[in-house]
Amino acid sequence: MTSSSTRADRLVPTALIALTLVPALGGAVRLADLAGGEATPESARFFAAPLPVVLHIVSAVLYCLVGAFQFAPGFRRRNPGRHRALGRVLVPAGLVMGLSGLWMTLFYPYPEGDGDLLAAFRLVFGAATVLAIVLGLTAIRRRDVVRHRAWMIRGYAIAQGAGTQALVTSAWVVLVGPAAGLTRTLLLGAGWVINVAVAEWLVRRRRSGSARTAGVTGRRSGAPQEVGRRF
């Protein structure tokens, strides 16, 4: 039990950080280009209005990298104070990430190959991340740990859609061929859908586990036991 939870403590953040590496690298390249490069037709929108993309990259990379540790079970249990302190940094970072993504979707001109469907995906999933983080925060302020966990998993999973999109698109390029236009849009959408499905599976798996534990120990299942439950 202890060794499997120690293994999970290492594996969960390592896997989540690995998933962030490709978009984080893309972000570093974009920031370096904005700092010292010249605008091209491909990057003109970023040079014309750099603030949202800079805020987006910095907050998204911080949220995904540091957020990875919040999901290591032993870290939360052993360091509840640190989990709370990181949460106070991660909530604003996640909100800035989502809101700046929405801002760019609404106000940047579409780059070549992007269209209304991709914009719709970005609006839906960007708004869903913001909503999930707000619901996760309001849940913990009511000391409802079960709902806090569920909403924070959902919000983080949508953010990590950026990493899954890189994996899905790379696999497509290697196995099938170039990904442009509608194909690229559907692959980006698939990255978000996969992560939402995994998040729902994790949320439901834990809920059914809790219900079984409550049954075995003879406790009534329901809000009073769930509220304030240990992480």
Please report, as ranges, the residues that interact with ligand HEM according to CB under 6 A: 20, 23-24, 26-27, 30, 45, 53, 56-57, 60-61, 64, 97-98, 101, 104-105, 108, 111, 122, 125-126, 129, 158-159, 162
Q: Phi/psi of residue 144, each to 5°? A: -95, 90
CA dihedral (202, 208, 211, 217) in degrees, to 10, reads -90
At closest approach, how far in Å is the CB of 130 from ligand HEM? 8
Of 99 and 140, CB closest to ligand HEM: 99
Q: Is 16 exposed, middle or buried (0-12, 13-18, 19+ CB in 10 A)?
A: buried
Nearer Cβ to ligand HEM, position 105 or 169?
A: 105
| Smaller CB separation from ligand HEM, 137 or 162 | 162
Between residues 113 and 228, which has the closer beta carbon with respect to ligand HEM? Answer: 113
Minimum distance of ligand HEM from residue 138's CB (angstroms): 19
> Shortest approach of ligand HEM to residue 13 CB, angstroms?
15
The residue (of 105 and 185) whose beta carbon lies closer to ligand HEM is 105
The minimum distance between CB 45 and ligand HEM, in angstroms, equals 6
In the bound state with ligand HEM, the residue whose beta carbon lies nearer, of 146 and 192, is 192
Q: How far is the CB of 57 from ligand HEM (least distance, A)?
A: 5
Contacts 24+ apart (CB under 8 A), 117-122: 117/182, 117/185, 117/189, 118/184, 118/185, 118/188, 118/189, 121/185, 121/188, 121/189, 121/192
Residue 88 beta carbon to ligand HEM: minimum distance, rounded to whole angstroms:
19
Nearest approach, Cβ of residue 195 and ligand HEM (Å): 10
Rounded CA separation 220/139 (Å):
21
Residue among 13 and 126 whose Cβ is closer to ligand HEM: 126
